[in-house]
Structure 1
Amino acid sequence: MVTETGREVATTDRDGKWEDVLLPPAAMSSGKLEGLIGFQEFLPNRVPLLKKKKQKPAKTKKRKVQKSAVLFGEEETSVEDKTVSRDSSPSVAKKTKRDEKKKTEKPKKQQKKSKAKSFELTEEEKAISNSEYVFQNKLPEWRRFNLDVALLRAIDSLGFKSPTDIQRQCIPKGLNSKKTILGAAETGSGKTIAYGLPILQKIIGYLDFSEEKTVGPQALILCPTRELAMQVHDSIRLVSKFTSVKTTAIVGGMAAEKQQRVLSKIRPEIIVATPGRFWELRETGQEYLQNLRSIKYFVVDEADRMAEKGHFAELDKIVGTLSRESQKFVFSATLTLTHVNSDRMDRMKIKTETTKSKIKKLMKAIVKVSILTEKDKDLWLYFMLKKQEGRSIVFCNSITGVLRLRGLLDTLKLPVRSLHANLKQKQRLKNLDAFRKSTDGILLATDVAARGLDIPNVDQIIHFQFPNAAETYVHRSGRCGRAGRSGTAVTLLKDSDVKNYKKVLHTLKKAPLDNYSGEMPPKFYNELIDLAKKVDVFTYRKRKTNSDKCWMKKNAELCEIELTESESEDEMNEKKEVESNERNKARLADLLKAAEKQ
């Protein structure tokens, strides 16, 4: 029933109520609505929700009072604070403790961020100009290049007392000519500085004498992998620390929108990028990347990998948009391997020393272990990792191989990190950073980590699966023994690897590798590896079944289906497997203690 006078109370319904709609006085006095009693709208019943919200007014106020005391650092608590601490339930007390923990953790996060900004000048460095800087080293060889004082200051602060062979040959030609420079040198020889210093010197001169704003980037450095691009970017920033040259990195796996904002805001003179993301941003209309004719210096790092057929389709498009007058730098550790024994190389008398004796220079020991079964491979891998002190990198040909070894070595309580293409970029950088900081870490990697990455003090490389190409073998082995240090390369060979092994040796013109002649693995390692595999397989299967059960339960609730919880034969078998796994874990723990004493 509808009443003419009541505005709030009207006819009610079980699921809600009807309320009058208030009309403006002008509408009623106009005469156009003559005979109309009024309008009503139906509002759903929300009383239970309102009742629940009205039950907690006092507690929220008390919490606010307590928070304000923590924020302003008051030592004396008010009367309301004391009542909260006495009368509050354990759950409220837990929440306040969590809030206090969060507030104490905030300064730690800020400290981490400040540590990460190692490229920015400190207050002491800002106080000293480049002309007033007192050099710690004389740097006679560097001064012969007539480099800018800001670059010499950076070189001095980094402790580079003298240039390497590739730097002695490349820097003068890069500074005094506009010709294309091809650079081939062993890994870890300083190729980034070799092409970075001439580019920085010329850009500094351009910025000093040109009053025009940069319409586009001055230099573009392309790298095949994200990790290598970030490493090159860091090296360039360290050398240009005391200059006004701006550098940025554009790689996949990061937010494209953020990279577009950085390009528009910073307008860097040097861009280090992977081809795919660079071309993607240009195609989406990024304003700063439209005029690629402004690029005067173009670098292709790890050129043999970049030029592989079908790998980097964007590279041809990028090269086609550049000016023909731009100076080009083409660098790689295995630049000559593809053209060994070619007629053109013979006519030009190009030396192929890097393909024949490069690995001998890098390693103090190159050995192979002939293995019959996959089980023996796992056994020897664990033995070599336990035997060698320091950092080790284990290379696999596939991501599945890395994932399998990660589970096995985790079960064996080894400090393992992984690096492969399926990881998100942030996780890849995080794992790399953790490996660099560790003194005895182990990195399981695909060939993503084989090229260009500068990880200092790697003592051992293990080819768990032998590579398909000679270039990959050289790059993998070059991850240790960098910058004049020594290292060990171990190859675990199965019968299926012999074909690739012979092919690589033929390409490199090398004699067969020496067989391992050291001590043998202890006998109990066989049982150790067997138990670790069983525990790892059970853990993987248990995780998978739990995820399947969660999926079934969630979808059953959505479909309003009741799942029976009766004990079946499968569940009985599962209990037996759990008990067996516990026994295996206990025995494995005893064997691991015995392995530590070895």
Structure 2
Amino acid sequence: MEAWKNLFVPNPVLWALKDEGFMSPTTIQALSIPHAIRDRLDIVGAAETGSGKTLAFCVPILHHVLNVQTVQDALIEQTHSLQDTQKYISQNETDSDSNIDILQPEFNPEEDWGDSDNSDEENNSDEIDDSDDVDNDDVDSGVDNGSDEDGDYDNPPTEEDIEELGENEVGCVRVVHNIVLDPTPQTVNTDKPLIGLILEPTRELAIQVKNHLLKAAKYINVKIATVVGGMAPQKQRRILSQCPEIIIATPGRLWELLQEGDQHLIKIPSVKVLVVDEADRMVEKGHFEELTKLFEFMKDNHEARLKRQTLVFSATLTMIHKGPSRKMKKKKKALIPDDKLDLLMYQIGIKDKKKIVDLTTKTGTAENLTEARINCPKDEKDLYLYYFRRQYPGRTLVFANSKDCLRRLVSIFTELGCKPLSLHADMHQKQRLKNLEKFSASNDGFLLASDVAARGLDIPNVQHVIHYQVPRTIENYVHRSGRTARATKEGLSVMLISQDDVRNYRKIISTLNRDEELPVFPVEYQYIPTLKSQLRLALEIDKLHHRFMKVKRQNDWFSKAAEEMEIDIKDEKLLVDIGDNEEQRQHAKKLVNMRADLLQALKQPLAPRTFSGKYPTKMGKLVTLHDAGKY
């Protein structure tokens, strides 16, 4: 761990990093962590995806946690020391005034023994003074020896004595039957501070950051919670009631719980560390209205704002693209990149004295990323995606701009036996996480996703990224492509470009300062006819099945509604004729036969046995048609 020596990383964090195999810091970590811990500066960091930005802000947060805990422990120790001193002084003052043991309980004969004469009181008092003769074994076991009327402790009371005294008064003990005790309410330590707040644009990224933070905090006693949409608010309220020191949240759910008056979240203005991850997307106007409200809420405490440390990280700080048109109409001129960076810092509350660490390259993407394009008509994108999937197996992530497009692709590629997984905003959070786990666990995973998966997700060993639809902004292209070629590994990014995508493609090339267009990905066209016939059959199966199921679901809905309203639906002619039982069986049989034909076609080898199945690359670079003559 010698490489971490001068970064001022706390020892408990170093032990955890060693356990996880982080023997040396990345460039973004080495340049930002010392300024955050030693100099207490606000940090604005930009580096390519997979460069270790998460750990760059996790380590300073844990440093603050340890500092707060050290101060709290010192105060507790000081308080205990003061209490012990006061107790010692009080005991000495009491002993100097009297020789009577101050801990000796006062004996009340009337309360403990009932009515008796003065002689009995004296005898009983004497017996109490000589109570050292009581058997210790009986005391430890909870047995009460009792006493007779003469105060004799050596002989237990007889049954006649018990009957005479009454069943509720035996010796010194008063027995109370069927007593009901009020349960002691569990109290929450509301004085526990909120030390760190990390804001993330997506739920998956928030959960991923929490997992990284837990590993780094392995040897630190700290509570970490996520506050995200898609999960039960009741459960998150219970977690917040435990007053976690660090909260990782998406702005929407955080603002919702804050408006409800959560007692822990109202401490947000006094938070010691604020982290805004994927900042370029987080501050886009019109995207996160709650984020602006959160920043306004935090500005109310001016003194805490001056003491707060703010860390901002992203894969790019260019922010070239314009905001939504309805917002930009109010502006007389477009903002240049430097203006947008200043606006970002103003909204978040970055101090004038800050450290900017910009490691982004001129090209905007990782150096070990191979980029290419496939020019094709819009209605043949399915074909070329299928070609790539068949020819180049491996962990592949496909991005599209719309959820409807993703649903259609999932249906078609399921018929083709590609076992696709999906990920988009309309899915339940549990299913989204489940699909991510399946994709990460499979060496040949095939994930069809919206831009929800473009930001910050650390999915190991993604070999290919396919842009089925060209992204609308340069930031999305950089983040999408950044899912591969991570941590010095090589990767491939391919855009499928139709006539509708040319405008966005030109904008991306111009913004990335590319002198040349992306190279054309080599396609072996002798395989295209076979793939086209397989895809055509899959499309027919999908269309036939989807059309039938759509009508059937509509009929089932009308039938159920009519039954509840006690209406004869046949008279209303609302049901679509899907045939009788025999015709439906024939339809199902036809689908089975078509799927059998498709399965047989898929079993046929596409490439000759001598084909290696690797990229058409040499020395890590794509061999294009233009460059082929050089080799």
Normalising by structure 2, we get a TM-score of 0.68
Contact 2:375 2:498 in 1 (8 A): yes
Name 1:331's counterpart in structure 2. Answer: 313
Deviations 1:459-514 (A, max 9, x none): 00000000111000000000001111111111111011001100111111112100
Please give the alpha-carbon distance, in whole angstroms, between the structure 1 residues aligned to 2:578 and 2:336: 65
Q: How does 1:166-181 map to 2 (within 5 A)?
A: 166-181=28-43
Name 1:312's counterpart in structure 2. Answer: 288
1:499 aligns with 2:503: yes
Name 1:51's counterpart in structure 2. Answer: none
Please give the alpha-carbon distance, in whole angstroms, between the structure 1 residues aligned to 2:403 and 2:577: 37
Contact 1:556 1:563 in 2 (8 A): no
SS in 1 for 2:57: helix
Deviation at 1:548, TM superposition (A): 2.4
Name 2:272's counterpart in structure 1. Answer: 296
Deviations 1:190-239 (A, max 9, x none): 10100110110121121022247744311100001111111111111110
Name 1:260's counterpart in structure 2. Answer: 237
Q: Relative to structure 1, is the Cα distance of residues 568 and 454 closer, same or farther in structure 2, using a 3 angstrom cutoff?
A: closer
Deviations 1:352-371 (A, max 9, x none): 762523425141x2110100
Name 2:221's counterpart in structure 1. Answer: 244
Please give the alpha-carbon distance, in whole angstroms, between the structure 1 residues aligned to 2:341 and 2:456: 25
Name 2:466's counterpart in structure 1. Answer: 462
Q: How does 1:144-163 map to 2 (within 5 A)?
A: 144-163=6-25
Deviation at 1:537, TM superposition (A): 1.3
Name 2:456's counterpart in structure 1. Answer: 452
Please give the alpha-carbon distance, in whole angstroms, between the structure 1 residues aligned to 2:254 and 2:47: 27
| Bigger Rg, structure 1 or 2 | 2
SS in 1 for 2:463: strand
Contact 2:371 2:494 in 1 (8 A): yes
Deviation at 1:314, TM superposition (A): 1.5
SS in 2 for 1:514: coil
Q: Relative to structure 1, is the Cα distance of residues 593 and 344 closer, same or farther in structure 2, using a 3 angstrom cutoff?
A: closer
1:200 to 52, 62, 65: 62
Q: Relative to structure 1, is the Cα distance of residues 506 and 436 closer, same or farther in structure 2, using a 3 angstrom cutoff?
A: same
Name 2:152's counterpart in structure 1. Answer: none
1:404 to 404, 408, 421: 408
2:375 to 367, 370, 378: 370
SS in 2 for 1:465: coil
Deviation at 1:385, TM superposition (A): 1.2
Please give the alpha-carbon distance, in whole angstroms, between the structure 2 residues aligned to 1:187 and 1:420: 21
Name 2:51's counterpart in structure 1. Answer: 189
Name 2:517's counterpart in structure 1. Answer: 512
2:568 to 537, 561, 583: 561
Contact 2:8 2:37 in 1 (8 A): no
Query: 2:568 corresponds to which letter in structure 1?
Result: I
Q: Relative to structure 1, is the Cα distance of residues 429 and 341 closer, same or farther in structure 2, using a 3 angstrom cutoff?
A: closer
Deviations 1:430-461 (A, max 9, x none): 11111111111111000000010000000000
Q: Relative to structure 1, is the Cα distance of residues 342 and 516 closer, same or farther in structure 2, using a 3 angstrom cutoff?
A: same
The runs of 5 or more residues in structure 2 that have no matched partner are 76-188, 299-303, 321-334, 343-353, 609-631
The runs of 5 or more residues in structure 1 that have no matched partner are 1-138
Query: 2:315 corresponds to which letter in structure 1?
Result: A
Deviations 1:94-135 (A, max 9, x none): xxxxxxxxxxxxxxxxxxxxxxxxxxxxxxxxxxxxxxxxxx
Please give the alpha-carbon distance, in whole angstroms, between the structure 2 residues aligned to 1:538 and 1:438: 31
Percent identical: 40
Q: How does 1:109-120 map to 2 (within 5 A)?
A: none
2:490 to 486, 492, 497: 486
Name 2:551's counterpart in structure 1. Answer: 545
Please give the alpha-carbon distance, in whole angstroms, between the structure 2 residues aligned to 1:312 and 1:345: 17
Contact 2:43 2:311 in 1 (8 A): yes
Contact 1:297 1:328 in 2 (8 A): yes
Query: 1:421 corresponds to which letter in structure 2?
Result: A
1:414 aligns with 2:389: no
Q: How does 1:89-104 map to 2 (within 5 A)?
A: none
Name 2:435's counterpart in structure 1. Answer: 431
1:524 aligns with 2:538: no
Please give the alpha-carbon distance, in whole angstroms, between the structure 1 residues aligned to 2:213 and 2:290: 24
Please give the alpha-carbon distance, in whole angstroms, between the structure 1 residues aligned to 2:569 and 2:506: 62
SS in 2 for 1:152: helix
Deviation at 1:305, TM superposition (A): 0.1
Please give the alpha-carbon distance, in whole angstroms, between the structure 1 residues aligned to 2:296 and 2:69: 26
Please give the alpha-carbon distance, in whole angstroms, between the structure 2 residues aligned to 1:344 and 1:590: 56
Deviations 1:272-300 (A, max 9, x none): 00011111111111111112233010000
RMSD: 2.8
Please give the alpha-carbon distance, in whole angstroms, between the structure 2 residues aligned to 1:582 and 1:430: 30
Deviations 1:341-384 (A, max 9, x none): 658999x9999762523425141x2110100241x211110111
SS in 2 for 1:585: helix
Q: How does 1:227-238 map to 2 (within 5 A)?
A: 227-238=204-215
Contact 1:179 1:327 in 2 (8 A): yes
Q: Relative to structure 1, is the Cα distance of residues 315 and 145 closer, same or farther in structure 2, using a 3 angstrom cutoff?
A: same
1:472 aligns with 2:479: no
Normalising by structure 1, we get a TM-score of 0.72
Q: Relative to structure 1, is the Cα distance of residues 569 and 390 closer, same or farther in structure 2, using a 3 angstrom cutoff?
A: closer
Query: 1:452 corresponds to which letter in structure 2?
Result: G
Deviation at 1:405, TM superposition (A): 0.2
Query: 2:412 corresponds to which letter in structure 1?
Result: L
Name 1:226's counterpart in structure 2. Answer: 203
Please give the alpha-carbon distance, in whole angstroms, between the structure 2 residues aligned to 1:224 and 1:446: 14
Instruction: Count residues with an aligned counterpart.
Output: 456
